[in-house]
Each structure stands twice: as C-alpha cells, then as structure tokens.
Amino acid sequence: MPTTNPRVQIVLDPEVYAIMKKFARQTNSSMSSVIGNMAAEAAPAVHQLSGLMETANGLSKQLTAPLIAKLANAENLLRQSVYSAQGVVDDMQLDVEEYIASAEVAATSRSRREEREGVGASSLD
C-alpha cells in the first residue's frame, strides 16, 4: 500500500550503506524503515536543538556566545549518546564472541571424546 508520508533521498557512504543493509536484513525490515525509525527516534532532540539554534540566531552577539557554547554542548551530548549506544553494542559483541568461543571449545572437546570412545565412527566391517 503506498504511503502518504513525505519521501527523502539520502546519500550514504558505502560503509554506512552496508551496515544499514545488513541491519535491515537481520531485523527483517526495509532499509527505509530502519533509517526512518532511527531518524524518528532522534527527531525530538534534533527538533528542540533546532528551535534553540533558531532562537539564538535572533539574539544579539553578546547574548549568543554563551548560548552557542551550550548548544554545542547539547550537540556533543547527543553524539555521546550515540557513542554510548555503540559501547553497549561493542560489549554485546564481546559477549557473543565469548559465547561462540566457549561453544567451539565444547564442541571440540565433545568431538575428541567421541573419537576416543569410538562414538560416531563409521564401521567399515
């Protein structure tokens, strides 16, 4: 069913495109919905920041300098939240890698035990 929502075209670096495509595939979503959902989640903070910037532009230079510093801080905090999320994902990556490594060790141990006990060996008699 066609959507009545506005559409936008974006240009992504090849690396970002590959990441978004892989994430969309893993979540059984379209790239459009993945990127749209991410934008929707960031929209309230971006909207508020945009309004503050607009207000600051209308003020005198003397009043603007401290506001610009605070706006820059707000932008940095927004970026830090993305980096914080990246840290959580990095921790999850380590957990998955540890799980895979322990599963591989267990499988190797089981295979060696079965070989010693003759389990699973094909008989050529």
Instruction: Please check whether residue 67 is in contact with residue 59, taking contact to mean a CB–CB distance below 8 angstroms.
Output: yes
**Mean pLDDT calculated for residue range 36-48:** 87
Measured distance CA(37)–CA(19) in Å, rounded: 15
63, part of any domain: no
Residue 81 and residue 107 share a domain: yes
**Is 27 part of a structural domain of the chain?**
yes
Token pair recorded at residue 51: 């309004």
53/76 same-domain check? no
Identify whether 2 is part of a domain. Answer: no
Q: What tens digit of pLDDT does each residue of 78-109 get?
A: 778 877 877 777 788 888 888 888 888 888 88
In a domain, 103, yes or no: yes
Q: Mean pLDDT throughout 32-44? A: 88
Quote the pTM value: 0.50
Grade residue 120 by pLDDT with cuts at 50, 70 and 90: low
**In a shared domain, residues 30 and 12:** yes
For residues 55 and 48, the model is more confident at: 48
Q: Are residues 72 and 54 in the same domain?
A: no
Q: How many domains does the chain have?
A: 2
Residue-range definition of the domain harbouring residue 106: 68-117
Question: What is the pLDDT at residue 18?
Answer: 94
